[in-house]
Amino acid sequence: MQTSGRHEDEIAGVDTSEGRHPQQQTDDPVSAALTASHALDDVISRSVADILDIVSLPQYRAMVALAPQPLLRSELGARLGSGDARLEAIVTALADEGWVELREGGIIALSAHGVQLVAHVDARRSAELSGILEALPRADRRAVASAFTLFATAAATQDEAS
């Protein structure tokens, strides 16, 4: 793998000897979560592939953060972990293209157009996840649902603590 000079030190200590082995069973929850995250990365990448020529990935992440409800600019920045300049560029680009609406008091909301785009990606992602999960026996699907619910709850708790 070629790396730029500034990242060589960051990745030099990473052990890549095991690679990605989705069929490998593990009792280590971190390894299992990492393996699952790689599979989900593939699903996510495919689900956004057809929109990345109209919005960037950071712009799409902002739209997803706004999907449940409008947010103050500061709240959106905190959710994205973006600095002021980066957030301003994202919000300006989204507003210029009609994906978000800028409201009084620094509130940012998805436009109807933005809601449709997020729904389009969610539908693609849901269809692919359904296909993957349908290949599992019913009991395993329930176990996956339970595990993902636990994981999402733990991640939300972690986010709130940050």
Query: Is 85 a member of any domain?
Result: yes
- State the pLDDT confidence band at 26, using cuts at 50, 70 and 90: confident
Using only C-alpha atoms, the chain has a radius of gyration, in whole angstroms, of 19
Residue-wise pLDDT for 70-98, tens only, equals 999 999 999 999 899 999 999 999 999 99
C-beta separation of 67 from 118 below 8 A: yes
- Report whether pLDDT(127) > 90: yes
Per the document, the length of the chain is 162
Domain range enclosing 156: 30-43+50-161
How far apart (Å, rounded) are the C-alpha atoms in residues 143 and 145?
5
Give the residue with greater pLDDT, 2 vs 44.
44
pLDDT of 137 reads 97
pLDDT of 24 reads 62
Query: Is 63 a member of any domain?
Result: yes
145: its two tokens: 């649902």
Q: In sequence order, what are the beta bridge partners of 101?
A: 109
How far apart (Å, rounded) are the C-alpha atoms in residues 154 and 148?
10
Tell me whether strands 107-110 and 71-72 are parallel, antiparallel or unpaired: antiparallel
Mean pLDDT of 36-61: 95
pLDDT of 23 reads 54
How far apart (Å, rounded) are the C-alpha atoms in residues 22 and 34?
10
- State the pLDDT confidence band at 27, using cuts at 50, 70 and 90: confident
- Report whether pLDDT(162) > 90: no
CATH number of the domain where residue 35 is located = 1.10.10.10
How far apart (Å, rounded) are the C-alpha atoms in residues 126 and 44?
10
- Cα 116 off chain centre by: 17
Query: Is 120 a member of any domain?
Result: yes
Residue-wise pLDDT for 99-115, tens only, equals 999 999 999 999 999 99
Query: Is 75 a member of any domain?
Result: yes
Query: Is 81 a member of any domain?
Result: yes
pLDDT of 149 reads 96
Query: Is 147 a member of any domain?
Result: yes
Cross-sheet strand order for the sheet of 107-110: 71-72, 107-110, 100-103
Q: How many domains does the chain have?
A: 1
Mapped onto helix, strand or coil, the DSSP state of residue 110 is: strand
Q: In sequence order, what are the beta bridge partners of 100?
A: 110
Q: Any residues with CB less than 8 A from the CB of 124 and at least 6 apart, and which?
A: 46, 47, 50
pLDDT of 78 reads 94
